[in-house]
Structure 1
Amino acid sequence: MAEISLRIDLGEEHRFGPGKARLLELIRDTGSISAAGRALGMSYRRAWLLTDELNTMFGAQLVEPQHGGAKGGGARVTPQGIATLEAYRRIEVAAEAALEKERKLFKRGRK
């Protein structure tokens, strides 16, 4: 079965794809970089580095730390981060629709 895996290249070293989109979603949903990383099976350090990379490659904070509170801090996805995530998901839907339209050409074993 043919599937779309969308990756957007933003310069030579910066890419935004399904992994970073999922990380943003999980940070949004959990309010925590650590919890998002655990959900993805990665270390806090790896999740933090990816979060930092997101902020750097977009030149704006997509994720910002939340300091203090009874249980310490956390993180939140900013309005810019939400807009970026929503745009990525819209592009995915459009790509899936385009593939569906042409699916017969991508069937396995086609002659």
Structure 2
Amino acid sequence: MHKPNQIEGLRFRLVLKPGFALGPGKADLLEAVAATGSLASAGERLGMSPKRVWTLTREMNEAFRAPLIETEKGGSGGGGGARLSPLGEEVLARYRAMERDATQAIAAGMDALRSVLR
């Protein structure tokens, strides 16, 4: 799983409006849904409870003009699933690009601070 924010010392979190922020946990969930095609599998991959996965999904889907994660009910025969909507793909790509840019922007400062640690 992609976690440059923790490796580089940056936890990149965007407060997009009062009461809603997009940060590493939500971005990781979007990425895991894209990779697995399942909310349950995404949650397992990230060590998130099903309740947490549904809470984050609902928060993101309600915050944006269209859902970021689209779901299909499985029923007794299975067949359900989840995927990123085109807007979800765009939001994830934009977030990851901003995260990379921010990490690069602070790299020299991080190196300087680390050089004076014990």
Does the C-alpha gap of structure 1 residues 42 and 73 become closer, same or farther in structure 2, counting only changes over 3 Å? Answer: same
For the pair 1:15 / 2:11, whether they are aligned, the reply is: no
Partner of 1:61 in structure 2? 67
Match of 2:106 in 1: 99
RMSD of equivalent CA atoms: 2.1
Q: For 1:30, which of 32, 36, 49 is the aligned residue? A: 36
| Between 39-48 and 72-81, the greater mean CA deviation after superposition | 39-48
Extract structure 1 runs of 4+ deviating beyond 4 A.
67-70
Match of 1:75 among 79, 82, 85: 82
> Partners in 1 of 2:12 and 2:20 — Cα distance?
14
**Where does the alignment leave 5 or more consecutive residues of structure 2 unmatched?**
1-6
Aligned amino acid, residue 106 of structure 2: L
Question: Which AA in structure 1 matches 2:91?
Answer: T
Counterpart code for 2:87? Q
Match of 2:4 in 1: none
Any stretches of 5+ residues in structure 1 without a counterpart?
Answer: none
The percentage of aligned residue pairs carrying the same residue is: 40
> Alignment length, in residue pairs?
110
User: For the Cα contact (< 8 Å) 1:66–1:76, is it kept in 2?
Assistant: no
| CA distance in 2 between partners of 1:2 and 1:78 (Å) | 29
Question: Taking structure 1 as the reference length, what is the TM-score of the superposition?
Answer: 0.86
Output the amino acid matched with 2:10.
Answer: I
Q: Tell me how far 1:107 sits from its aligned partner.
A: 2.2
Rounded Cα–Cα distance in structure 1 between residues aligned with 2:74 and 2:47: 26
